[in-house]
Structure 1
Amino acid sequence: MSSDERVYLSVGSNIHPRVASIRQALAQLRALPAVTVLATSNWYETEPWGKRDQANFYNVSVALTTTLTPDQLLTALHMIEQQLHRQRDIHWGPRTIDLDIIFWGRRQINTATLQVPHPHAGERNFVLLPTAEIAKDDPLVAPQLAGLIAANQDTSWIKNVGNVSEQDD
């Protein structure tokens, strides 16, 4: 993989303690030997997408480089989710942590377990806006984001809350 090919993740939580869960997920991500975290967006509080009758989310986007393959990174993300007690009981339901691969440079990946770019990224403010914040200078991803943002019809609210602490949860 070329070292300038950045991977973007969306990280979110809406089950207390949201802040601690996201911080733990980011720490575990940074601890992976084959991953270098380049940037983390501001934190955003967002209303739930898809299934609305649940608590608000905190979301951040992460830019990284990795020597892992897409499947290896996905496996590592699922392990972090399991360690933070992620349950997959309700589609678009509440979650302690959610780690999604959104972009991998210009790559198009379509396997049984992974689609990149994420198939719903263009429909979600909570993915587009934090990712755009940290991908402005990425010549491979910024143009993709610009197109998705221009076509975006998501009317859900999103509030930049900067950097939060556990007291904000």
Structure 2
Amino acid sequence: MAVQVYVALGANLAEPKQQLDFAMTALKTLALNHTFTVSDYYRSKPMGDVIQPDYVNAVAGFQTTLQPIELLDALQHIEQQQGRLRLEHWGPRTLDLDLLLYGQQHINQPRLCVPHYGMKLRSFVLVPLADIAPTLILPCNTSLESLISVTMRDELQKLIDLS
């Protein structure tokens, strides 16, 4: 059975825009035909106290028949293929893929929590997600649009040149 999923993408090392482009190609292989959509790319400031370059972020949405842990494994495999090393919490990375939503399910397992724990507070997740799913209602029955403030929109810089 197919389920609609949303995945956040972020990169700030090794040509971040190209990292996201490569990730999009890989994510499309997980999607059912003609269901893949992606937001614009945005530049955002890094979280935490680690000094590092700005991030390039986006959100992809698609339908898949993969079960949640299978999808998580596939996302982590894509990260590893693109050189992801988990060295420092909120540190720089070649690619970060976070499963934001898996249908309307609430999942709380040791390896996977969905909806993603921090998504409601992160402009670099909410604004791109609204690009592709503006009328989305989250599993908590909150509208996505109601979570996005003017300040959140102002925190991001849309990248017009995606070449």
TM range (shorter): 0.7 to 0.9
Distance 1:146 1:118 in 2: 17
Give the structure 1 partner of residue 148 of structure 2. 149
Q: What residue ranges of structure 1 are gaps of 5+ in the alignment?
A: none
**Is 129-138 or 115-124 further displaced after alignment?**
129-138
Contact 1:21-1:96 within 8 A present in 2 as well: yes
| Partner SS, residue 144 of structure 2 | helix
Q: 1:37 to 1:77 in 2, by over 3 A?
A: farther
CA RMSD of aligned residues (A): 2.6
1:84 is aligned, of 77, 82, 85, to 82
Q: What residue ranges of structure 2 are gaps of 5+ in the alignment?
A: none
Q: 1:125 to 1:138 in 2, by over 3 A?
A: closer
Say how many residue pairs are matched. Answer: 162
Q: 1:107 to 1:162 in 2, by over 3 A?
A: farther
Shift of 1:37: 4.5
Distance 2:31 2:120 in 1: 31
Give TM-score scaled by structure 2 length. 0.87
Distance 2:17 2:131 in 1: 20
The alignment-based identity, stated in percent, is 35
Give TM-score scaled by structure 1 length. 0.84
Shift of 1:138: 4.1
Query: Do structure 1's residue 18 and structure 2's residue 16 form an aligned pair?
Result: yes
Q: 1:140 to 1:48 in 2, by over 3 A?
A: closer
| Partner SS, residue 6 of structure 1 | strand
The aligned amino acid for 2:26 is Q
Shift of 1:33: 6.6
1:38 is aligned, of 36, 42, 49, to 36
Distance 2:11 2:108 in 1: 26
